[in-house]
């Protein structure tokens, strides 16, 4: 009963912190600053709100679970238009992530105070609080990871088949949320094979967990004719990177360079976790290893290792200020280090309890450890928010201007041709349902309209980036250019059929 009340208190704290952060971001418009957050929300919307609704609208490259979880909120017109729908799944995931981290640390360290310190360091990190208020996938994945960690520890202690089912379901969910989840599966299966008294338990875990990757491979094979479309298809990160290299772009930092990959990832971790949390995590890791708390730290190290491998071998970039090219990109990938540092730091609190079990001073130490990282953040803006704001200035400007024009001139039902992606944000702000648009996710109808607009383009409006295939189709169909919006790095063109 005591542990139940401890967990209930943690959940209440996480709920209040998450709700406050989400409300703060919504009030300032931060929720959809990140272009990926806008895209995730609009993909969730188009699964049902489309001329060709169904699983194909899930697309490729990005894994489907976060979009599926967002469907109900995204289909609420007002919530979609204002962005509120993008700030529902992540706050819930934030609460689950913190609760499972607490439960896992409570079981490992046998100390409520240590577990509370873990939760404080994780939950009060401003980058975590910003990302939990957006439609990004980091917090849903954090929830899956924390649930998986807790399940692994539960099985280690109990050998319960229910723990295997829990671990399998958590790994299945993780593998349909982010690709780091795929990386986890073989390591956990080998660990279960090593510790399980009945080896078929490890096989059962693998069978459940692998359903996620197999389902995604099948989806890509069925809809795109290539099971690896998400990895090497024309819109995959790797294919885009190769085209950029062919056009003369310099390789990303860390590309086939282990030293730079580690340097850039650690620089991002310094900015995302903060130096105080990293120092506490390093000290806690030494204490934890001396106390033979090895498995949880190894598990939480898998995600950072995955990102370093991706930077080295898969064309995944991380840019940070102070290192070439002195900009912001994908700093959020270092969020995994926050979880690792927080869990490791919990071991510091256990030192006091070695000498005085259940000492009231342990709570004070836990609070001090949990609040200490905030000293760094008093004078530093969250880098993930700074990145989103910096990289979206032009996009937010032309999205607003485009939406304002469409609100005045577009008549519902008249139809609009556009190439999904960033342009979808203008339709969202203008309140135009996606089913009124013909976009690149609509298969043959889209292909016919852009290849032979003289025969198949029937939409009254066309929304394009200057020079793209929509602009070309509109001009060939003799549409009239009604509005041109020029901003840094982009020119938006709005055409109307004469």
DSSP 8-class letter at 252: P
pLDDT of residue 189: 98
pLDDT tens readout for residues 66-122: 999 999 999 998 999 999 999 999 999 999 999 999 999 999 999 999 999 999 999
pLDDT tens readout for residues 70-84: 999 999 989 999 999
pLDDT of residue 469: 97
DSSP 8-class letter at 329: B
pLDDT of residue 369: 81
pTM: 0.96
pLDDT tens readout for residues 225-280: 999 999 999 989 889 999 999 999 999 999 999 999 999 999 999 999 999 999 99
Q: Nearest 10 degrees: CA dihedral of 65, 70, 71, 72?
A: 130
CA distance to 62, 87, 256, 314, 439, per residue, from 66 (Å): 9, 12, 31, 23, 22
Nearest CA-CA partner of 9 in 363, 284, 293, 365: 363
Confidence of residue 357 (pLDDT cuts 50, 70, 90): low
Listing DSSP states for 30-69 in one string gives GGG-SHHHHHHHHHHHHTTSSSS-SGGGG-SSS-SHHHHH
pLDDT of residue 385: 97
pLDDT tens readout for residues 473-493: 999 999 999 999 999 889 999
Confidence of residue 365 (pLDDT cuts 50, 70, 90): confident
pLDDT of residue 160: 97
Q: For the chain, what is the mean pLDDT?
A: 95
Cα(176)–Cα(153) distance, integer angstroms: 22
Residue 337 CB neighbours (<10 A): 24
pLDDT tens readout for residues 268-314: 999 999 999 999 999 999 999 999 999 999 999 999 999 999 999 99
Average pLDDT over residues 440-467: 96
Domain ranges within the chain, ordered by starting residue = 2-384, 392-496
């Amino acid at each position: 009963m005591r542990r139940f009340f401890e967990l209930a208190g943690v959940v209440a704290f996480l709920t209040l912190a998450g709700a406050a952060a989400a409300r703060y971001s919504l009030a300032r418009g931060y929720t959809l600053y990140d272009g990926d957050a806008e895209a995730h929300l609009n993909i969730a919307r188009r699964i049902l709100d489309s001329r060709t609704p169904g699983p194909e609208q899930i697309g490729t490259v990005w894994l489907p679970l976060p979009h599926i979880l967002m469907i109900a909120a995204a289909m609420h017109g007002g919530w979609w238009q204002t962005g509120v729908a993008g700030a529902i799944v992540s706050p819930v995931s934030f609460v689950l992530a913190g609760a499972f981290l607490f439960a896992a640390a409570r079981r490992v360290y046998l100390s409520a105070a240590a577990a509370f310190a873990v939760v404080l360091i994780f939950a009060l990190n401003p980058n975590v609080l910003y990302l939990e208020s957006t439609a990004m996938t980091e917090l849903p994945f954090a929830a899956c990871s924390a649930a998986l960690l807790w399940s692994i520890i539960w099985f280690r202690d109990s050998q319960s088949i229910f723990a295997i089912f829990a671990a399998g379901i958590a790994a299945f969910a993780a593998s349909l949320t982010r690709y780091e989840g795929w990386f986890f599966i073989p390591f956990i299966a080998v660990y279960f094979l090593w510790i399980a008294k009945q080896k078929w338990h490890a096989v059962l875990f693998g069978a459940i967990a692998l359903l996620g990757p197999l389902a995604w491979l099948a989806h890509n094979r069925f809809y795109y004719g290539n099971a690896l479309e998400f990895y090497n298809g024309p819109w995959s990160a790797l294919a885009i990177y190769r085209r950029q290299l062919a056009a003369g772009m310099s390789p990303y930092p860390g590309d086939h360079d282990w030293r730079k990959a580690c340097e850039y990832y650690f620089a991002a971790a310094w900015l995302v976790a903060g130096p105080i949390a990293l120092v506490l995590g390093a000290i806690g890791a030494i204490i934890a290893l001396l106390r033979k708390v090895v498995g949880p730290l190894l598990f939480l190290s898998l995600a950072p290792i995955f990102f370093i491998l991706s930077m080295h071998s898969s064309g995944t970039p991380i840019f940070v200020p102070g290192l070439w090219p002195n900009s912001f990109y994908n700093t959020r990938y270092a969020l995994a280090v926050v979880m690792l540092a927080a869990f490791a730091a919990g071991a510091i609190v256990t030192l006091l309890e070695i000498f005085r079990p259940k000492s009231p001073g342990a709570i004070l130490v836990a609070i001090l450890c949990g609040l200490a990282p905030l000293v760094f953040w008093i004078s530093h803006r969250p880098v993930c928010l700074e990145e989103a704001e910096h990289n979206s200035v032009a996009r937010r400007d032309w999205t607003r201007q485009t939406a304002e024009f469409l609100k005045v001139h577009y008549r519902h039902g008249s139809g609009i041709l556009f190439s999904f992606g960033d342009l979808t944000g203008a339709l969202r702000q203008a309140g135009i349902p996606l089913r009124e648009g013909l976009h690149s996710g609509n298969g043959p109808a889209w292909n016919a309209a852009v290849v032979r607009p003289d025969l198949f383009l029937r939409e009254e409006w066309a929304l394009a980036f200057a020079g793209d295939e929509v602009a070309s189709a509109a001009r060939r169909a003799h549409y009239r250019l009604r509005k041109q919006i020029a901003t840094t790095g982009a020119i938006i063109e709005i055409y109307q059929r004469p």
